[in-house]
Structure 1
Amino acid sequence: MNSFKEMEQFGDRTAVYADRAYSYSEMLELSDTICSNVGERTLVFCLCSNNKESLFGYVGFIRGGVVPVLLDASLHIDRLRRLINLYKPAYIWASSDHQDLSQSMESSFVYGDYTLFECPTQVQHDLHENLALLLTTSGSTGSPKFVRLSYENIFTNADSIAQYLNIDADDKPITTLPMNYSYGLSIINSHLICGATIVMTESSILKKEFWDLCKEQQVTTFGGVPFVYEMLDRLKFETLHLPSLKKLTQAGGKLSESLARKFAALCHQKGIQFYTMYGQTEATARISYLPYEDNMRKAGSIGIAIPGGELVLQDDNGNRITEPLMTGELIYKGPNVSLGYAESLFDLSKNDENNGVLHTGDMAYVDEEGYFFITGRIKRMIKMYGNRISLDDVEAFLHEHGHDCICAGNDDQMVIYTLKEDYVQIKKIIKEKLKLKSFKVMRIKEIPRNHFGKILYSDLPKHG
């Protein structure tokens, strides 16, 4: 199931606007040319930005059966080298200006501002026949753990999203999220399979040129993580005049109930459909959505399962909870549940380890009408600016750099506790190498532990 192979039907319709309009026919010709320079089915790293080169490369690789690994173009070179060593990609599709790659690798093909760099140490990858794509779960931390996605995962999820959002060929989304992030990619996939037009931009919503482009191209929809909606609130979204805007979507973390209510009311006044949604990369992207008609009445809810999916709750013993308002672990079942994880090239031949069932790690309850509400997370994960961050991954990364630290926090702020006077070095590493924002470094005298040596995170000093 590879729906990108069916896009020829859209012919002269505009597929992408990025400095100019590119029709589906033109996009597919360029995409297939990029992929043809790779040749055989193999592994390719794509260092993505929201530009036509990244998008065309992705479309070409998926159409041609090449397995892309989508990474942030700003990924620190140390992290990139580590991933290259673990996965041994045959090629890297990246900006021609990437100094480290241009100095160490041969160029095999150039399109626009991007070059297909040929990696010097090539291996024969044993790729599972259903493996289509690898996505990271941890933003810019450069974790070696990737989610293994199949063609069925990608396109059943895109179909479900297109169905509940009523996407058609007249829709025009604008990029507000990185395309290497599962939410941002799901917007691209769900619109391309419907013959819609993607407006590509790297401009922030805080820039005048973003809004000028929205008006010029008559954008109909965009999506955002909670931080985007906080910024829209500060920008006084209610005063913005965008008559073409028809749909707004929100995912990538829980929007505060007050802000959810405010945007629901504003969108109702403006005649805009406002959808809040819930998802995980492990389920390709989307798991549930709150129908726009219910966004005032059920503010704070993640809604109902997407078409073709099912949400259930389990207690600590693995028994299904059937009574409303009882909290348990949220379990999702559907064809978009990933094949599993990979931590090196040796995992790329693995079969489907999840069999369509995902333990989300989130605690939730369901109300009497069947709407689900998240109450907390089981694992030590937080979401910052839409990126899911593993506190354990950050700890391990700092330990690699000689800092004995522990991490805690919530979706608003990560706190790094250190035993030494090394605030400046830690801040520098986090900002430059992980490119994370909204964190605080605190010094403590000792790390609280129980008699088994396990860290007692709940006993750490509170942070404000």
Structure 2
Amino acid sequence: MSIQPALAAVVFAAELARFGNRTAIHHDRGSLSYAELADRVESTARSLGPVRRLVALEAGNTLPSLVAYLAALTAGHPLLILPAGGGDAAAALIEAYDPDVVITSAGRESRVQERREGTGHRLHPELALLLSTSGSTGSPKLVRLSATGIQANAQAIAEYLGLRPGDVAATTLPLSYCYGMSVVNSHLAVGAAIALTDASVVDPCFWELMHARKVTSFAAVPYTFDLLERVGFAEMELPALRQITQAGGRLAPEKVRSYAQLGQGRGWDLFVMYGQTEATARMAYLPPDLAETHPASIGVPIPGGEFHLEPVPGLDASELVYTGPNVMLGYAESPGDLAAGRTVERLHTGDLARRTPEGLYEITGRRSRFVKIVGLRVDLGQVERKLTALGVAASVAGTDERIVAAVEGGHDLPMLAGILARELGLPRGAVALHPVEELPRLANGKPDYPAVLAMGGTPASADTSSPGSPSCPDSLPSAATRQDTVRLAIADALERGDIAGTDTFVSLGGDSLSYVAASVRLEQLMGTLPPGWHLMPVAELEALAGAPRREETGNKALRALRSLVPPMDTGIVLRAVAIVFIISSHIDLFEWQGTAHVLMGLAGYNFARFMLAGTRPERLRRQLRAVVRIVVPTVSIVALGLMVTEKYNWTNILLLNSLLGTPKFGTNEHFWFVEALVYILLGLAVLLAVPAADRALRRWPWAFPMALVGLDLLLRFDVIVLRMPWQGPMLWLFALGWAAAASRTAWQRAAVSAVTLLSVPGLFDNDLRNATIMVGMLMVIWIATIPVPRFLHRAVSVLAGASLYIYVSHWLVFPLFDKKYPALAVAVSLVVGIVYGTLATRAMNLAECFLANRRSGRSTESIPKEQP
């Protein structure tokens, strides 16, 4: 049975099947044709029943969410969009509007809750979509959009962007945001493809997707461009990219010009756009060929739309008014409003604008962004622009008593406040500036002006204290007085206090050692951590931590078992087990070799996770810092051993014994693993500092490490014979771990597994040793987490975090014990290594703080004396 579209059906959703076998959706488990997508949509639409009902959808960038979205549009069920992740905002909307059906995300599936048969609402026949207005997430005030308006806006966007069936758009914005939704609508309207992803542009996985799916466009809000600069976007080779679209707020003209020029040189177009939720999405666009010469303009109306300028009483300015088929039906503030028809014909945007001689429109201010202080009218947008001209990033709010500004970065706030007061002709006390690490923003990336205004109770413009060093907080509450939070967990793991919402664990300098400490703390806060959490912005982690945890479904016994034996990161478990096996084998408690080679593969896996984000200079600094943090504690132990035992020599001090020492294993070869790892890390730092190699890695993130595997296998199988350290070539194992982390498809993991199974046998004469390496590597490749009894989590994490320090220090510890007591020697070696790791890490953190303070000219007195 086919679903007959209701009066309110959206055409592009109802006619998906007309594009047949063209690819419609790329998702994490493959791709879906338009015909297959249409079948799923029809099936879901049928399950919603023949009676029009109010459907609430938790809209995430997942295939089940997208299918449910299209099914409701197809069957004519008015759709109330809830923010992804649930939480208080979604709960408030559900309570206010009492939907008939609620569809929420449940992993890879959707959970459908039918709250009643039929409907409890009177629904206007044109009503298709209900969206929160910009900045009012969770508010009962919603925008009522018609099916005609959604279709018209999708067609208009597709027309001015020149979309074609071969295009592929990445979902850089959430489906719950009208801008992100418009990307999906416009591409499906022309038979183009959607690459579903939740990855941020700071996540290397996003750029792998761009290459793998040949993505031709992605959408950006102003803040996205800050992130693009962080990851070295200007240097990336993206041959499939045709266009970048920008909306969601004003992008600084200099950035518009800069990215327009970059696009001209790289073969893609920048489309600056203007819109509001009340206009479904888009009202204007700036043709790419005008972006460089008119970067302050929003351009011209979209096809089918018109602008008018209406004078504003009391202001020497005009308001921008829009008409077109995509204008909303009106607002809804209660369920009773869902029966209303059109109450809005002309959309008063609230923006002040002018029309240039070239026929382009420019926004000059915001009608509601004016306050009147001591009889003087003040344009808050103009205050922001004044601060920008002074090189200050700020968000400005205000009342008729005071201007309040959040100011980012280290500035002399009293001086700035005085300058503003004089230029605006206001009393000095009417200007309050507040220092912030990062400007407060809403979930859609726009400035959070209510949050700025809330700062007005405690003005800080008179504070003359200098800001803390980025890496060394001046003061933080003691651990005994603080409530655990996401930021605090990461701050403690990295010993830094300057964590912003847009930072990620990796961008803050997190590595495989600090990852252990942070992940354990975060698991206590959030339960199971999302995959790739170390690459997620802190603000996203905070939102997940603050969201109500969903009640698990399924067998009660299984739920109880999962609570007693929750999962741990496989890498953490392997490191803990490996270090115990290594120490026990060396001390002859038992014999089980091969785990050190698993750790080499795991080192490559972690290298891919923590060392490859950011620009080339940032990566180089991060890689060299990792080398220093391996070399310093190792050399310190070797120096101590040389002084108290005379077992070692200068080749050990310089970590050159593998290259210059004897090929026979003995005392001098105790640190072969560290030497091999340092050689590999230094070699890769040099290699990836070469622009051509950097470009190759970005373009072929999986093939690049696999090529390194192939090169080193020539040494492994003696095709090329070189003098190698005692343990032989190690790069191939490291690169296999790297390739495992870079694998995004089952066939890539299968390929890495096949190379592992073919190359490890015969590495050693001991079959158990070879089997241990193969099993360990296969676990790294295929298994993300391992169930571990909850009472062991702390011990496992401590052992994993101290594994390097246990390894380098145990050589000096266990000889102090009688061979009759190997278990005691193992236990003491582990304890000493843990203590050494704590002291060494703290000392290196203090040294970094000291150097950072010296570079910034701060007094060393500001270095924290105890770990926060």
TM-score normalised by length of structure 2: 0.42
Partner of 1:197: 193
| Residue 308 (structure 1) aligned with residue 318 (structure 2) | no
| Residue 21 (structure 1) aligned with residue 31 (structure 2) | yes
Gapped regions of structure 2 (runs ≥ 5): 1-8, 371-379, 382-396, 400-433, 460-481, 487-500, 502-524, 526-537, 541-868
For residues 135-156 of structure 1, the C-alpha deviation after alignment (integer angstroms, 9 at most, x for no partner) is 1114573111111000110011
After the TM superposition, which of the residue ranges 85-94 and 134-143 deviates more from structure 2? 134-143
Among all aligned residue pairs of Structure 1 and Structure 2, give the percentage whose two residues are the same amino acid. Answer: 39
State the distance in 2 between where 1:82 and 1:157 align.
Answer: 29
State the distance in 1 between where 2:261 and 2:458 align.
Answer: 49
- Secondary structure at the residue paired with 2:307? strand
Greater gyration radius: 2
Give the superposition deviation at 1:49.
1.1
State the distance in 2 between where 1:409 and 1:204 align.
Answer: 19
Gapped regions of structure 1 (runs ≥ 5): 98-111, 320-325, 384-389, 393-406, 438-464
Partners of 2:52 and 2:118 within 8 A in 1 = no
Task: Give 1:183-194 correspondences, 5 Å limit.
Answer: 183-194=179-190
Task: Give 1:323-338 correspondences, 5 Å limit.
Answer: 327-338=317-328
| Residue 6 (structure 1) aligned with residue 2 (structure 2) | no
| Residue 68 (structure 1) aligned with residue 64 (structure 2) | no
Partner of 1:275: 271
For residues 101-154 of structure 1, the C-alpha deviation after alignment (integer angstroms, 9 at most, x for no partner) is xxxxxxxxxxx4211112269852100000011111145731111110001100
Q: Which amino acid counterpart does residue 103 of structure 2 have in structure 1?
A: W
Task: Give 1:55-454 correspondences, 5 Å limit.
Answer: 55-76=66-87, 78-96=88-106, 112-119=108-115, 123-138=119-134, 141-317=137-313, 327-355=317-345, 357-379=346-368, 412=447, 414=449, 415=452, 416-417=454-455, 419=457
Partner of 2:635: none
Over 3 Å counting, the alpha-carbon distance change for 1:225 and 1:419 in structure 2 is: closer
State the distance in 2 between where 1:9 and 1:409 align.
Answer: 45
- Secondary structure at the residue paired with 1:348? helix
Partners of 1:75 and 1:142 within 8 A in 2 = no
TM-score normalised by length of structure 1: 0.78
Partner of 1:322: none
After the TM superposition, which of the residue ranges 302-311 and 135-144 deviates more from structure 2? 135-144
Give the superposition deviation at 1:336.
0.5
Q: Which amino acid counterpart does residue 27 of structure 2 have in structure 1?
A: A
After the TM superposition, which of the residue ranges 24-33 and 203-212 deviates more from structure 2? 24-33
Runs of 4+ in 1 over 6 A off after TM superposition: 407-410
Give the superposition deviation at 1:85.
2.2
State the distance in 2 between where 1:83 and 1:376 align.
Answer: 31
Give the superposition deviation at 1:68.
1.1
Partners of 2:248 and 2:274 within 8 A in 1 = yes
Partners of 2:54 and 2:119 within 8 A in 1 = no
Over 3 Å counting, the alpha-carbon distance change for 1:168 and 1:318 in structure 2 is: farther
Q: Structure 2 residue aligned with 1:50, among 61, 85, 89?
A: 61
Partners of 1:164 and 1:307 within 8 A in 2 = yes
Q: Which amino acid counterpart does residue 89 of structure 1 have in structure 2?
A: P
Give the superposition deviation at 1:42.
0.6
Over 3 Å counting, the alpha-carbon distance change for 1:193 and 1:25 in structure 2 is: same
Partners of 2:92 and 2:139 within 8 A in 1 = no
State the distance in 2 between where 1:278 and 1:32 align.
Answer: 34
Q: When you count helix as a share of all residues, which structure comes out higher?
A: 2
Q: When you count strand as a share of all residues, which structure comes out higher?
A: 1
Q: Which amino acid counterpart does residue 370 of structure 1 have in structure 2?
A: G
Give the superposition deviation at 1:436.
7.5
Partner of 1:36: 46
Q: Which amino acid counterpart does residue 53 of structure 1 have in structure 2?
A: P
- Secondary structure at the residue paired with 2:270? strand
Partners of 1:47 and 1:73 within 8 A in 2 = yes
Partners of 1:309 and 1:334 within 8 A in 2 = yes
Partners of 2:55 and 2:99 within 8 A in 1 = yes
Partners of 1:72 and 1:140 within 8 A in 2 = no
State the distance in 1 between where 2:102 and 2:339 align.
Answer: 21
After the TM superposition, which of the residue ranges 204-213 and 63-72 deviates more from structure 2? 63-72
Give the superposition deviation at 1:2.
2.6
